[in-house]
Amino acid sequence: MFGAFNSATNDANANAVAAGYISVSSVTEDTLNIGVFNGCQYTDPTTAKPTWKAYYPGAVNITTGTIDAFVFDNPQQLYEVQTAGTLTQAAAGGLVATAAYVAGSTLSGLSNEEIAGAVTGAGATDQWRIIRLSEDPSNSDTGNANSNWVVRLNESVYYNGAVLT
């Protein structure tokens, strides 16, 4: 899941978001991203105990304290992601958008989010820069859909990589 400082009124799920809070970044979001969500901690309103979750259980309405989100926010952090389509080796170095939002696993906290199946053209801006094809032999076949790629954040609150070509 990707997070964004959100000055908009709605997140990727069309939920209202107050300015200064983080939210799910949508495919077409122009807001610069913080990074990738890595879990949260809060005081459970039912048990009154500190609780850690690898995902945010959206229906929790805390009565004490805050919900603290942990985010991988290094703009040079590399991530291995799956593409929603078929990319070729020529995609390396190109920019790519996040595919349509998909909820992740509540058991593992792992995201089911994918990158789009096509790179954008010159002068375009997108959330991710493709670094290289994955080194995982089971998921690095560019002849098939859903291959894995190594990417880094392109539109970041720490720098706007969209101007790099």
Predicted pLDDT of residue 4: 43
Report domain extents, the chain.
2-72
Are the C-beta atoms of 116 and 95 separated by less than 8 Å?
no
Q: What is the pLDDT of residues 69-119, one digit of tens each?
A: 888 888 889 999 999 888 888 889 888 888 877 777 777 777 778 888 888
| Confidence check: pLDDT of 120 > 80 | no
Angle formed at CA 57 by CA 103 and CA 108, multiple of 5 degrees: 60
Q: Fill in the DSSP letter of residue 108.
A: T
Closest CA to 140 of 92, 76, 78, 72: 92
As given in the structure block, the two tokens for residue 23 are 């939210």
Please tell me the distance from the alpha carbon of residue 61 to that of residue 103, in angstroms, as a whole number. 20
- Distance between the two ends of the chain, CA-based, in angstroms? 25
40 beta partners? 53, 69
Three-state DSSP class for 31? coil
Q: Which of 1-5, 49-53, 141-145 reaches the highest mean pLDDT?
A: 49-53
Average pLDDT over residues 30-40: 79
Q: Provide, rounded to the nearest whole percent, the portion of the chain with pLDDT above 70.
A: 75
Are the C-beta atoms of 82 and 136 separated by less than 8 Å?
no
Average pLDDT over residues 44-65: 85
Average pLDDT over residues 142-157: 86
| Confidence check: pLDDT of 5 > 50 | no
> What is the edge-to-edge ordering of all strands in the sheet holding 95-96?
78-82, 148-153, 128-133, 95-96
As given in the structure block, the two tokens for residue 69 are 């989100």
Q: What backbone torsions phi and psi does residue 163 show, to the nearest 5 degrees?
A: -85, -10
Please tell me the distance from the alpha carbon of residue 165 to that of residue 137, in angstroms, as a whole number. 29
Average pLDDT over residues 137-146: 84
